[in-house]
Chain A
Amino acid sequence: MSLISIFVASVLTENIILTKFLGICPFIGTSKREKGALGMGISITFVVFISGIIAYLLYYYVLVPTETEYLRTILFVLIIAAMVQSIELIIRKQFPKIHELMGIFLPLIAANCAVLGITFLVIDYQYNFWETIVFILGSGLGFTALIYLYATIREKLDQRPVLPSFQGVPIALIIAGIMAMIFSRFGL
């Protein structure tokens, strides 16, 4: 597959939220305000970019030669937790402006299934190094775009009458379902 088609697929037709169901918790939970949604999306993209590349290199240059692929779950979880900690430290010291935007989201990302899921998908799809980078960036962009779109829809929705038993999460899930139908049509 060419790099461009990987990019388009990971942003639109194979969007990680709508087809792989990764990162549903922040999607449903924190995407009530547009600004928060944007901050969450950018933080996740940033963390998954750095930890995804490190996980890729360690998997192919350490785990595969030593035939310990079964350790990948533990290793990837540790990489992500360590990366989240160090990114937090670095941006708090060096870039306080960015820390204002991303700071509150970083601790939440350590146990986020979007980040771990993308690092697993890269291995399962057997991408090479450049395909990995394009896939990670595309997935991150797709996540950010979708969570932002969704936040704007939900802000409007708050002012509309909804059946009491559908209020909150049920109607949010149904909207996500409708968005999934729309996004799956981009491929045709």
Chain B
Amino acid sequence: MKKIINGIIQENPVFILLLGLCPALAVTHTFESAYIMGFCVIFVLLFSNITVAIIKKLVPENVKIPVFIIIIATFVTTIDILIKTYIPDLHMTLGIYLPLITVNCIILGRAIAVASKEKVMNSAQDAIGIGLGFTLVISAVALMREVLAHNTITLMNDLSNITGYEWIITVLPVNLDLNVFATPAGAFLALGFLLAIFNKVFMKGELNESN
């Protein structure tokens, strides 16, 4: 449990370690694509961490990174095929960012820093913590962007293929209609402001040292 909270706050992959910024910007135009991206990352991170932790003694030091990348790419391909088969609309929405999970620095980073040193259980817990931390951040960015731009929260739209119904909430009585947040520029702005807020709330004393 401590490891999981550690992954969400003290070692938050996006805000503290500054890894995985690419999906945090790219798939956050709707809430739905963000949290599903988060689940995909948790899936890949969990299985790659467990696999790496199991085989770590068999891998020679100098081919460590290529072996880890292939393990990660295998799980990414697995989830790519699953989503393409069962939720084709979502596969279109996520586009190249789904296969790009392979080079998401969070996953390779955790494989090298944690899974290749610790036991299987610890690696799995670390994967869940870091994965949840990532999911929470990109969901928050998506929430901010979608509410400000369209005044909606899309909980199920592409997913309605398998669940059977759509679920889109309208939030505020007035539509703010800040269209800039729907564009790529808005993604940078939203992430920048959220990161500043996170620094303000959690990093009170450490700002001057880290910069």
CB-defined contacts of B102 to chain A, threshold 8 Å: 73, 77, 116
Query: Is A28 part of the binding interface, using a Cβ–Cβ cutoff of 8 Å?
Result: yes
Q: Which residues does chain B contribute within 8 Å of A180, judged by CB atoms?
A: 183-185, 188
Residues of B within 8 A of A (CB): 18-19, 21-22, 25-26, 65-66, 69-70, 73-74, 76-77, 80-81, 95-96, 99-100, 102-105, 108, 180, 183-189, 191-193, 195-197, 199-200, 203, 207-208, 210-211
Q: Are B103 and A113 in contact (CB under 8 A)?
A: yes
Return chain B residues, CB-CB under 8 Å to A167.
207, 211
On chain A, the residues within 8 Å of B203 by CB distance are: 165
When each residue 109-131 of chain A gets 1 if its CB lies under 8 Å from chain B and 0 otherwise, what string results? 01111001100110010000000
Q: Which one, A3-11, A16-24, A50-58, A96-104, is touching chain B?
A: A16-24
Instruction: Note all chain A residues with C-beta closer than 8 A to B105.
Output: 25, 111
A78 within 8 A of B: yes
B197: which A residues are within 8 A, CB to CB? Answer: 165
Docked pose: A168 CA to B38 CA in angstroms: 26
Inter-chain contact A18/B184, CB cutoff 8 Å? yes
Check B96–A121 contact: CB distance below 8 A.
Answer: yes
Q: Are A70 and B192 in contact (CB under 8 A)?
A: no
Report B85 CB to chain A, min CB distance, Å: 11
Consensus secondary structure, chain B interface: helix
Give the Cβ gap from B134 to chain A, nearest Cβ, in Å. Answer: 15
B1 → chain A closest CB, angstroms: 29
A-B contact pairs, 29 of them (CB 8 A): A19-B184, A21-B187, A23-B22, A25-B19, A70-B80, A72-B99, A73-B73, A74-B77, A77-B102, A81-B66, A111-B65, A111-B105, A120-B96, A124-B95, A165-B196, A165-B207, A168-B211, A170-B192, A170-B199, A172-B192, A173-B189, A174-B192, A174-B193, A176-B188, A177-B192, A180-B183, A180-B185, A180-B188, A181-B185
Which residues of A are in contact with B by a Cβ distance under 8 Å?
18-25, 28-29, 70-74, 77-78, 81, 110-113, 116-117, 120-121, 124, 163-174, 176-178, 180-181, 184
Chain A residues lying within 8 Å of B199, measured Cβ to Cβ, are 164-166, 170
Q: With A81-B69, A116-B100, A173-B192 given, can you name 17 additional A-B contacts, CB distance below 8 Å?
A: A21-B21, A70-B80, A72-B99, A73-B73, A77-B69, A77-B73, A77-B103, A78-B70, A112-B103, A116-B102, A124-B96, A170-B192, A170-B195, A171-B192, A172-B192, A174-B189, A181-B185
Is A77 touching B70 in the complex (CB atoms < 8 A)? yes
Which residues of A lie under 8 Å from residue B69 when comparing CB positions? Answer: 77, 81, 111
Instruction: Determine how close the nearest CB of chain A comes to the CB of B136; give it in whole angstroms.
Output: 18
In the complex, the answer to whether A164 meets B207 with C-beta atoms within 8 Å is yes
CB neighbours of A113 from chain B (8 A): 22, 100, 103-104
Q: Does B189 contact A21, Cβ atoms closer than 8 Å? A: no
Tell me the complex Cα distance, A77–B80, Å. Answer: 15
CB of A79 to closest CB in B, whole Å: 12
Instruction: Output the residue of A71, A78, A163, A164 with the most chain B CB within 10 A.
Output: A164
Cα A56 to Cα B144 in complex, Å, equals: 38
- Closest CB in chain A relative to B93 CB, distance in Å: 13
With A77-B70, A165-B200 already in contact, the answer to whether A70 and B189 are too (CB < 8 A) is no
Interchain CB contact under 8 A, B96 and A21? no
A111/B103 in contact, CB under 8 A: yes
